[in-house]
A and B are shown apart, each in its own frame.
Chain A
Protein backbone atom coordinates (compact mmCIF):
# COMPACT_ATOMS: atom_id res chain seq x y z
CA UNK A 1 0.00 0.00 0.00
CA UNK A 2 1.31 3.40 -0.99
CA UNK A 3 1.55 5.73 1.97
CA UNK A 4 3.11 9.10 2.71
CA UNK A 5 4.06 8.40 6.29
CA UNK A 6 3.75 5.58 8.77
CA UNK A 7 4.09 5.06 12.51
CA UNK A 8 4.07 1.66 14.16
CA UNK A 9 4.33 0.69 17.79
CA UNK A 10 3.29 -2.00 20.24
CA UNK A 11 2.64 -1.71 23.95
CA UNK A 12 1.41 -3.97 26.77
CA UNK A 13 -2.37 -4.19 27.13
CA UNK A 14 -2.60 -1.98 30.21
CA UNK A 15 -5.23 0.71 30.62
CA UNK A 16 -2.74 3.53 31.23
CA UNK A 17 -1.54 3.00 27.64
CA UNK A 18 -4.90 4.17 26.24
CA UNK A 19 -3.68 7.75 26.80
CA UNK A 20 -0.38 6.83 25.12
CA UNK A 21 -2.20 5.65 21.99
CA UNK A 22 -4.18 8.91 21.82
CA UNK A 23 -1.01 10.95 22.24
CA UNK A 24 0.75 8.98 19.47
CA UNK A 25 -2.18 9.60 17.12
CA UNK A 26 -2.26 13.33 17.94
CA UNK A 27 1.48 13.65 17.26
CA UNK A 28 1.13 11.74 13.99
CA UNK A 29 -1.78 13.92 12.79
CA UNK A 30 -0.50 17.39 13.74
CA UNK A 31 1.60 17.91 10.55
CA UNK A 32 -1.59 17.30 8.51
CA UNK A 33 -3.27 20.18 10.32
CA UNK A 34 -6.58 18.46 11.20
CA UNK A 35 -9.53 20.46 12.53
CA UNK A 36 -10.19 20.32 16.27
CA UNK A 37 -13.20 18.12 15.54
CA UNK A 38 -11.27 15.70 13.31
CA UNK A 39 -8.61 15.37 15.97
CA UNK A 40 -11.19 14.85 18.73
CA UNK A 41 -13.09 12.27 16.64
CA UNK A 42 -9.98 10.26 15.80
CA UNK A 43 -8.64 10.39 19.36
CA UNK A 44 -11.99 8.95 20.47
CA UNK A 45 -11.86 6.27 17.78
CA UNK A 46 -8.37 5.06 18.69
CA UNK A 47 -9.26 5.12 22.37
CA UNK A 48 -12.26 2.86 21.69
CA UNK A 49 -10.21 0.43 19.59
CA UNK A 50 -7.35 0.17 22.10
CA UNK A 51 -9.77 -0.14 25.03
CA UNK A 52 -11.57 -2.99 23.24
CA UNK A 53 -8.26 -4.82 22.79
CA UNK A 54 -7.40 -4.37 26.47
CA UNK A 55 -10.84 -5.06 27.99
CA UNK A 56 -12.04 -7.78 25.62
CA UNK A 57 -9.12 -9.14 23.59
CA UNK A 58 -6.88 -9.65 26.58
CA UNK A 59 -9.68 -10.29 29.05
CA UNK A 60 -8.21 -13.58 30.25
CA UNK A 61 -4.60 -13.21 29.23
CA UNK A 62 -1.93 -10.59 28.67
CA UNK A 63 -0.13 -9.46 25.55
CA UNK A 64 0.66 -6.53 23.31
CA UNK A 65 -1.59 -4.15 21.43
CA UNK A 66 -0.13 -3.19 18.04
CA UNK A 67 -0.80 0.14 16.46
CA UNK A 68 -0.15 1.17 12.87
CA UNK A 69 -0.95 4.69 11.64
CA UNK A 70 -0.58 5.67 8.01
CA UNK A 71 -1.15 8.84 6.09
CA UNK A 72 -2.46 7.74 2.71
CA UNK A 73 -2.84 9.93 -0.38
CA UNK A 74 -5.71 12.44 -0.43
CA UNK A 75 -5.39 13.15 3.28
CA UNK A 76 -6.78 9.78 4.32
CA UNK A 77 -5.71 8.53 7.71
CA UNK A 78 -5.47 4.78 8.19
CA UNK A 79 -5.60 3.35 11.72
CA UNK A 80 -4.94 -0.31 12.46
CA UNK A 81 -5.25 -1.68 15.99
CA UNK A 82 -4.58 -5.36 16.54
CA UNK A 83 -4.27 -7.79 19.40
CA UNK A 84 -3.43 -11.46 19.75
CA UNK A 85 -6.15 -12.03 22.30
CA UNK A 86 -9.24 -14.20 22.48
CA UNK A 87 -10.96 -12.90 19.33
CA UNK A 88 -14.61 -11.96 18.85
CA UNK A 89 -16.90 -15.03 18.54
CA UNK A 90 -19.76 -13.08 16.90
CA UNK A 91 -18.69 -9.82 15.23
CA UNK A 92 -22.22 -8.81 14.23
CA UNK A 93 -23.41 -9.17 17.82
CA UNK A 94 -20.37 -7.31 19.15
CA UNK A 95 -21.17 -4.40 16.84
CA UNK A 96 -24.79 -4.09 17.99
CA UNK A 97 -25.18 -0.78 19.85
CA UNK A 98 -25.53 -1.19 23.63
CA UNK A 99 -24.46 -4.85 23.51
CA UNK A 100 -21.50 -5.57 25.76
CA UNK A 101 -19.88 -8.78 26.88
CA UNK A 102 -18.53 -7.01 29.97
CA UNK A 103 -21.47 -5.27 31.75
CA UNK A 104 -19.81 -5.85 35.14
CA UNK A 105 -17.07 -3.46 34.07
CA UNK A 106 -19.64 -0.81 33.16
CA UNK A 107 -18.96 -1.02 29.46
CA UNK A 108 -21.60 1.00 27.61
CA UNK A 109 -21.55 -1.20 24.51
CA UNK A 110 -21.04 1.82 22.28
CA UNK A 111 -17.42 1.41 21.19
CA UNK A 112 -18.18 0.12 17.70
CA UNK A 113 -21.05 2.60 17.23
CA UNK A 114 -18.66 5.48 17.98
CA UNK A 115 -15.93 4.03 15.73
CA UNK A 116 -18.42 3.70 12.87
CA UNK A 117 -19.84 7.18 13.41
CA UNK A 118 -16.45 8.91 13.53
CA UNK A 119 -14.73 7.15 10.60
CA UNK A 120 -15.49 6.63 6.90
CA UNK A 121 -14.88 2.87 7.02
CA UNK A 122 -14.32 0.20 9.64
CA UNK A 123 -13.18 -3.35 8.96
CA UNK A 124 -13.00 -6.04 11.62
CA UNK A 125 -11.04 -9.26 11.23
CA UNK A 126 -11.22 -11.65 14.12
CA UNK A 127 -10.45 -15.30 14.73
CA UNK A 128 -11.43 -17.03 17.94
CA UNK A 129 -8.31 -17.66 19.99
CA UNK A 130 -6.00 -15.84 17.57
CA UNK A 131 -6.87 -12.19 17.89
CA UNK A 132 -8.63 -9.20 16.40
CA UNK A 133 -7.58 -6.52 13.93
CA UNK A 134 -9.54 -3.31 13.37
CA UNK A 135 -8.80 -1.16 10.34
CA UNK A 136 -10.35 2.27 10.04
CA UNK A 137 -10.01 5.06 7.52
CA UNK A 138 -11.04 8.67 7.59
CA UNK A 139 -10.45 11.35 5.03
CA UNK A 140 -9.49 14.70 6.49
CA UNK A 141 -10.88 17.94 5.04
CA UNK A 142 -8.53 20.06 2.94
CA UNK A 143 -6.62 22.59 5.05
CA UNK A 144 -7.88 25.69 3.21
CA UNK A 145 -11.50 24.61 3.81
CA UNK A 146 -10.91 24.64 7.52
CA UNK A 147 -11.93 27.48 9.79
Chain B
Protein backbone atom coordinates (compact mmCIF):
# COMPACT_ATOMS: atom_id res chain seq x y z
CA UNK B 1 0.00 0.00 0.00
CA UNK B 2 1.30 3.45 -0.95
CA UNK B 3 0.12 6.68 0.63
CA UNK B 4 0.68 10.05 -0.99
CA UNK B 5 -0.15 13.47 0.44
CA UNK B 6 -0.58 16.42 -1.88
CA UNK B 7 0.05 19.69 0.01
CA UNK B 8 -1.41 21.84 -2.82
CA UNK B 9 -4.96 20.57 -2.39
CA UNK B 10 -4.73 18.87 1.03
CA UNK B 11 -5.58 15.47 -0.45
CA UNK B 12 -4.43 12.24 1.09
CA UNK B 13 -4.36 9.54 -1.56
CA UNK B 14 -4.28 5.94 -0.33
CA UNK B 15 -3.49 3.29 -2.93
CA UNK B 16 -5.00 0.14 -1.45
CA UNK B 17 -3.85 -3.14 -2.92
CA UNK B 18 -4.22 -6.91 -2.71
CA UNK B 19 -7.02 -8.65 -0.85
CA UNK B 20 -8.93 -6.54 1.67
CA UNK B 21 -10.07 -9.22 4.08
CA UNK B 22 -10.15 -9.25 7.89
CA UNK B 23 -6.48 -10.22 8.13
CA UNK B 24 -5.20 -7.45 5.85
CA UNK B 25 -7.64 -4.72 6.89
CA UNK B 26 -6.45 -4.99 10.49
CA UNK B 27 -2.89 -4.39 9.29
CA UNK B 28 -3.76 -1.42 7.07
CA UNK B 29 -5.96 0.66 9.34
CA UNK B 30 -3.20 1.94 11.66
CA UNK B 31 -1.04 2.88 8.71
CA UNK B 32 -3.84 4.92 7.12
CA UNK B 33 -4.78 6.53 10.44
CA UNK B 34 -1.18 7.58 11.10
CA UNK B 35 -1.11 9.38 7.74
CA UNK B 36 -4.48 11.03 8.45
CA UNK B 37 -3.28 12.34 11.84
CA UNK B 38 0.03 13.47 10.35
CA UNK B 39 -1.54 15.51 7.52
CA UNK B 40 -5.10 16.30 8.62
CA UNK B 41 -6.27 16.24 4.98
CA UNK B 42 -9.40 17.90 3.58
CA UNK B 43 -9.96 14.95 1.26
CA UNK B 44 -9.22 11.29 1.81
CA UNK B 45 -9.14 9.38 -1.47
CA UNK B 46 -9.13 5.58 -1.38
CA UNK B 47 -7.90 4.10 -4.66
CA UNK B 48 -9.03 0.54 -5.46
CA UNK B 49 -7.19 0.04 -8.77
CA UNK B 50 -5.02 -2.74 -7.35
CA UNK B 51 -7.54 -4.31 -4.99
CA UNK B 52 -8.33 -7.84 -6.17
CA UNK B 53 -10.73 -8.86 -3.40
CA UNK B 54 -12.84 -7.22 -0.72
CA UNK B 55 -15.34 -8.58 1.81
CA UNK B 56 -17.22 -6.89 4.67
CA UNK B 57 -13.92 -6.41 6.52
CA UNK B 58 -12.91 -3.98 3.77
CA UNK B 59 -16.26 -2.23 4.30
CA UNK B 60 -15.40 -2.03 8.00
CA UNK B 61 -12.06 -0.45 7.06
CA UNK B 62 -13.82 2.22 4.97
CA UNK B 63 -16.48 2.90 7.64
CA UNK B 64 -13.81 3.22 10.31
CA UNK B 65 -11.82 5.75 8.29
CA UNK B 66 -15.01 7.70 7.56
CA UNK B 67 -15.73 7.92 11.29
CA UNK B 68 -12.18 9.18 11.82
CA UNK B 69 -12.18 11.97 9.19
CA UNK B 70 -15.81 13.09 9.37
CA UNK B 71 -15.39 15.02 12.66
CA UNK B 72 -12.33 16.70 11.09
CA UNK B 73 -14.62 18.08 8.35
CA UNK B 74 -12.85 16.05 5.66
CA UNK B 75 -14.55 14.28 2.75
CA UNK B 76 -14.01 10.75 1.48
CA UNK B 77 -13.71 9.63 -2.13
CA UNK B 78 -13.46 6.10 -3.47
CA UNK B 79 -12.04 5.69 -6.96
CA UNK B 80 -10.99 3.14 -9.58
CA UNK B 81 -13.45 0.50 -8.43
CA UNK B 82 -14.09 -2.60 -10.53
CA UNK B 83 -17.70 -3.73 -11.12
CA UNK B 84 -17.19 -6.45 -8.47
CA UNK B 85 -15.88 -4.02 -5.82
CA UNK B 86 -18.63 -1.57 -6.76
CA UNK B 87 -21.27 -4.25 -6.12
CA UNK B 88 -19.98 -4.92 -2.60
CA UNK B 89 -19.68 -1.17 -1.88
CA UNK B 90 -23.26 -0.50 -2.98
CA UNK B 91 -24.62 -3.51 -1.13
CA UNK B 92 -23.10 -1.91 1.98
CA UNK B 93 -24.52 1.53 1.16
CA UNK B 94 -21.09 3.13 0.99
CA UNK B 95 -22.34 5.73 -1.52
CA UNK B 96 -23.89 7.49 1.48
CA UNK B 97 -20.44 8.01 3.01
CA UNK B 98 -18.29 8.67 -0.02
CA UNK B 99 -18.38 9.65 -3.67
CA UNK B 100 -17.67 6.46 -5.59
CA UNK B 101 -16.32 6.48 -9.13
CA UNK B 102 -15.15 3.82 -11.53
CA UNK B 103 -12.44 6.15 -12.79
CA UNK B 104 -10.34 8.77 -11.06
CA UNK B 105 -12.07 11.57 -9.16
CA UNK B 106 -11.78 14.98 -10.77
Q: Which residues of A are in contact with B by a Cβ distance under 8 Å?
A: 15-16, 18-19, 22, 36-37, 40, 43-44, 47-48, 51, 54-55, 105-111, 113-114, 117
Which residues of chain B come closer than 8 Å to A51, judged between CB atoms? 21-22, 55-57
- Report how far A105 CA is from B26 CA in the complex, Å: 8
Bound complex: CA A90 to CA B53 (Å): 30
B29 within 8 A of A: yes
Set of chain A residues within 8 Å of B56, measured between Cβ atoms: 48, 51, 107-111, 114
The residue among A18, A106, A114, A117 with the most chain B CB atoms within 10 A of its own CB is A106
Instruction: Select the residue from B19, B23, B56, B92 with max chain A CB neighbours within 10 A.
Output: B56
A38 to chain B, nearest CB (A): 11
Cβ A106 vs Cβ B60 within 8 A: yes
Q: What would 16 more interface pairs be, CB under 8 Å, given A16-B23, A22-B53, A36-B84?
A: A18-B21, A18-B22, A19-B23, A22-B19, A40-B53, A44-B53, A44-B54, A47-B22, A47-B55, A51-B22, A51-B55, A51-B56, A106-B60, A108-B60, A108-B92, A110-B59
- Chain A residues with Cβ below 8 Å from B29 are 106
On whether the beta carbons of B91 and A110 are closer than 8 Å, the reply is yes
Min CB distance A100 to B, Å, is 8
**Chain A nearest Cβ from B52, distance in angstroms:** 10
Given contact pairs A19-B19, A40-B84, A106-B63, A117 touches B26 in the complex (Cβ within 8 A):
no
Instruction: Write out the residue numbers on chain B whose beta carbons fall within 8 Å of the beta carbon of A107.
Output: 56-57, 60
The 3 A-B residue pairs with the shortest CB-CB distance in the complex, in nearest-first order? A15-B23, A106-B60, A108-B59
In the complex, B88 has a CB within 8 A of chain A: yes
B84 touches A15 (CB 8 A): no
B36 in the interface (beta carbon within 8 A): no
Q: Which A residues are CB-close (under 8 A) to B22?
A: 15, 18, 47, 51, 54-55
Chain B min CB distance to A36 (Å): 8
14 chain-A/chain-B pairs, Cβ below 8 angstroms: A19-B23, A22-B19, A22-B21, A22-B53, A47-B53, A47-B55, A51-B56, A105-B26, A106-B61, A106-B63, A107-B57, A108-B57, A109-B56, A110-B91
Assembly CA distance A119 to B12 (angstroms): 37
Are A114 and B26 in contact (CB-based, < 8 A)?
no
Give the nearest-CB partner of B56 in chain A: A110
Q: Interface digits, B46-90 against A, CB 8 Å rule (1 contact, 0 not)?
A: 000000011111011101100000000000000000001000100
